[in-house]
């Protein structure tokens, strides 16, 4: 349901589980640490849960009962519907993250390709650098479909980016207190359509233009070591 870590200080420490599940990551230019906790997700359904606490080699556990807020009019039927719709929506976010990660990986490979190109003959370098620039421009254009370009100043709220549409749908679902209504489902539909179109564009690029460039680079002779002649005193 939920796994998270906390850094301890000297003396007594307190930590809280706020009755949420593990969330998911969306598309991001930032590199997340491998040991980073997952984002917060949806609230859990009322029920019995086991809390496990680990510190070094020590481990202990306890059972807790999560009860609904008696002041809230939300029903278990509503909670279940919100959770089910959100879990389906999370599949869209997961797919968009995987697609954006492919663009980031391609960008890294492009940096390595640049070094390989610099090892080639001058007559070959010109054409290869032109191809690489075209690939780089395509990567930037596709990345900007997901989110605003890097380096922009001030607060940017471009409503046409995929991340913005995902956030809008996520906000509608997250703020629902009853079975998600027409506005929420419309936002989800818009996000899905935009995601499908964007992912399709990325797939076509990766499977055609980028693949051809990749095959070209893989076919190049890589000259890692510089030829050295014996040194002698004349």
SS (H, E, C) the chain: CCCCCCCCCCCCCCCCCCCEEECCCCCCCCCCCCCCCCCEEEECCCEEEEEEEEECCEEEEEEEEECCCCCCCCCHHHHHHHHHHHHHHHHHHHHHHHHHHHHHHHHHHHHHHHHHHCCCCHHHHHHHHHHHHHHHHHHHHHHHHHCCCCCCCCCCCCCCCHHHHHHHHHHHHHCCCCCCCHHHHHHHHHHHHHHHHHHHHHHHHHHHHHHHHHHHHHCCCCCCCCCCCCCCCC
- Residue 93, pLDDT score: 96
Residue 152 confidence (pLDDT): 67
Q: Tens digit of pLDDT for each residue in 48-75? A: 999 999 998 999 999 999 999 888 888 8
pLDDT at 138: 96
The pLDDT of residue 88 is above 90: yes
Q: What is the mean pLDDT of the chain?
A: 90
pLDDT range class, residue 22, cuts 50, 70, 90: very high
* pTM of structure: 0.84
Q: Are 38 and 25 in contact (CB under 8 A)?
A: yes
| pLDDT the model gives residue 121 | 82
Percent of the chain clearing pLDDT 70 (strictly above): 97
Banded model confidence at residue 103, pLDDT cuts 50, 70, 90: very high
User: In the predicted model, is pLDDT for residue 120 greater than 90?
Assistant: no
Range 191-226 burial, b when 16+ CB lie within 10 A, else e: bbebbeebbeebeebbeeebeebbeebeeeeeeeee
pLDDT exceeds cutoff 90 at 139 = yes
Question: What pLDDT is attached to residue 156?
Answer: 64
In percent, the amount of the chain with pLDDT more than 90 equals 60
Alpha-carbon separation of residue 6 from 50, 177, 209 (angstroms):
18, 31, 45
The pair phi, psi for residue 227, each rounded to 5°, is: -65, 135
- Residue 127 reports pLDDT greater than 80: yes
Averaged pLDDT, 197-205: 97
pLDDT value at residue 112:
87
Flag whether pLDDT at 223 surpasses 90. no
Number of neighbouring beta carbons within 10 Å of residue 125 = 14
Question: pLDDT tens digits, residue range 140-192?
Answer: 999 999 998 876 666 666 778 999 999 999 999 888 888 899 999 999 999 99
């Amino acid at each position: 349901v939920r796994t998270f870590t906390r850094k301890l200080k000297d003396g007594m420490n307190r930590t809280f589980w706020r009755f949420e599940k593990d969330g998911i990551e969306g598309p991001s230019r930032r590199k997340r640490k491998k040991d980073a906790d997952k984002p917060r997700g949806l609230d859990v359904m009322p029920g019995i849960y086991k809390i496990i606490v680990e510190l070094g080699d020590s481990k202990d556990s306890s059972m807790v009962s999560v009860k609904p807020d008696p002041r809230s009019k939300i029903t278990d039927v509503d909670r279940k519907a919100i959770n089910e719709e959100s879990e389906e929506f999370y599949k869209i976010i997961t797919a968009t993250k995987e697609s954006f990660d492919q663009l980031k990986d391609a960008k890294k490979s492009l940096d390595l390709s640049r070094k390989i190109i610099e090892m080639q003959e001058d007559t070959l370098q010109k054409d290869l650098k032109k191809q690489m620039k075209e690939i780089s421009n395509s990567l930037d254009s596709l990345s900007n479909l997901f989110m605003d370009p890097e380096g922009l100043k001030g607060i940017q709220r471009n409503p046409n980016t995929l991340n913005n549409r995902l956030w809008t749908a996520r906000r509608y679902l997250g703020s629902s207190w009853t079975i998600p209504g027409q506005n929420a489902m419309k936002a989800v539909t818009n996000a899905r359509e935009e995601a499908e179109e964007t992912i399709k564009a990325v797939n076509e690029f990766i499977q055609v233009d980028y693949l051809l460039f990749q095959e070209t680079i893989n076919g190049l002779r890589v000259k890692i070591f510089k030829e050295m002649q014996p040194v002698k005193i004349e």
